[in-house]
Amino acid sequence: MKLFEGKTAVVTGGGTGIGLATTRRLAAEGAHVFITGRRKVVLDEVVASIGPASVTAVQGDISNLTDLDDLYTAVRERGQGLDILFANAAAASFATLEQVTEDHFDDIIGTNVKGTLFTVQKALPLLNDGASVILNSSVRAGDGVVAFGVYAASKAAIRSFARTWANELKDRTIRVNAISPGTIDTPGLDGAVADKNSPVTREYFTTGIPIGRVGRPEEVADAVAFLASDQSSFILGADLVVDGGEVHI
């Protein structure tokens, strides 16, 4: 029997990078995965490649509460509740303290903090007892990379959410944990280092990784699958670091 046979999952930001790899991993293990993201064409490609029997796409932005309602309406209509929630979607861009604008702040905090909070809150009526919630934090939350201050703060909030919500939801046997990926080979990394405000390059990150390379999205997806499964039944409120031993400055 497959690991998630008969389970229902939600992966936000499920169209690319870590979200896509996790969608593939959960679907391969038997889950029906609902994915959401801003770009319909990308979501449609995922459904076509994995198959509509395993994936349902609902276009939306997690910082928009109406879009979240649409996502969970689709999950509710399936009639099997929700067993796995991977709150993965996030925004990232560089700006030093001097460069931070209100728009920059609102985009990062609105997506990463507000969006994650309401992604989980609005899932509560659907979460089956014993469900697993995984939040996507980051090693950047505490490593002091120049010009990543607002992003780092948003990811520190995610770590805090995981610990608090684990305590709040434990009576329903819902486990909440976080993962903190290091430098992972995703379109998001390419976009960040190409940013005109970026103080770092891909090589900057790579030199600090003892394993000698950046991570693969599939390696993070494996960690998510572990936290989503009964194999991690005694792990609660944890922050699982997936970074190849990256040295943080």
- In one-letter notation, the amino acid at residue 220 is V
- Alpha carbon distance, N-terminus to C-terminus of the chain: 44
Angle in degrees, CA 194, 13, 195, rounded to 5: 10
Size (the chain), residues: 249
**109: which 2 tokens?**
């905090």
According to DSSP, the β-strands at 239-242 and 82-87 are unpaired
Catalytic status, residue 151: yes
Instruction: List the 239-242 sheet strands across, edge first.
Output: 55-59, 32-37, 8-12, 82-87, 127-136, 175-181, 239-242
Residue in 34, 94, 148, 151 annotated catalytic: 151
d(CA 54, CA 37): 17
Secondary structure (H, E, C), 109-174: HHHHHHHHHHHHHCCCCCEEEEEEEEEECCHHHCCCCCCCHHHHHHHHHHHHHHHHHHHHHHHHCC
> Taking a C-beta distance cutoff of 8 angstroms, is the pair 192, 214 a contact?
no
Q: Catalytic residues, which ones?
A: 151
